[in-house]
Amino acid sequence: MFNKLYLFGILFFSLTLLNCQTSTNNKEPKITFKVSKKDKDWKEELSPEEYQILRNKGTERPNTGIYNMHFEEGVYACKGCGQALFKSNNKFMSDCGWPSYESALPGAITYIKDTSLGMVRTEIVCSNCGGHQGHVFDDGPTSTGKRYCVNSASINFINNKNE
Ligand SMILES: [Zn+2]
């Protein structure tokens, strides 16, 4: 009788441990952002296209964005919150159809694993508001080897000539 109880105790303890581990592993890490707004407020502030990209992770059609072939000196800031994300001297000519950068400003981007569309990609979002920008790939032609593929509709160019 004592042995049975003892065994039951061990079994129960193991199952409890197992359950704890399972539930911990299943939890998606919750990322929080400094700028957090209600969905209806984003909808009011952004154009339908900007909302679709920044908040619904949409993608503009290739070769249609205003910054695809844009090469001026300045910074590109998040259209959702204004945080500077990319510098013009890190932008390169790419034939992929979207603005492409070899690197982002330090701390400006949060990287999220994206397994949608049957692929494993790294989504890039603004670290301040969580606004979707695009994806980063490891096929960049410059020394960093990175290609930050960004939607024009999710960024604003700021000319720094007068600074
Ligand atoms: Zn932002």
List 156's β-bridge partners, or say none.
Answer: 77
Domain membership of residue 122 (yes or no) is: yes
Q: What is the pLDDT of residues 83-92, one digit of tens each?
A: 999 999 999 9
**How much distance in Å is there from the Cα of 1 to the middle of ligand 1?**
64
**What is the four-CA torsion angle of 21, 25, 31, 32, rounded to 10 degrees?**
-30
Q: How far is the CA of 119 from the centre of ligand 1 (A)?
A: 25
CATH of the domain at 100: 2.170.150.20
Q: Which residue has the tokens 């720094």?
A: 160
pTM above the 0.85 mark?
no
One-character DSSP codes across 7-20:
HHHHHHHHHHHHHH
Q: How far apart are CA 85 and CA 78, in angstroms?
A: 6
Tell me, in angstroms, the distance from the centre of ligand 1 to residue 112's CA. 15
Distance CA 8, CA 151 (A): 58
Residue from 78, 126, 129, 149 carrying the catalytic annotation: 149
The answer to whether position 58 is within a domain reads yes
The answer to whether residue 71 is domain-embedded is yes
Number of domains in the chain: 1
Q: For all residues of the chain together, what is the average pLDDT?
A: 88
Residue 25 lies in a domain: no
Residues near ion ligand 1 (CB < 5 Å) are 78, 80-81, 83, 126, 128-129, 131
Distance 4 CA to ligand 1 centre (A): 60
pLDDT digits (tens, 9 = 90+) for 111-140: 999 999 999 999 999 999 999 999 999 999
- The verdict on whether 78 is a catalytic residue reads no
**Alpha-carbon span 89 to 67, nearest angstrom:** 14
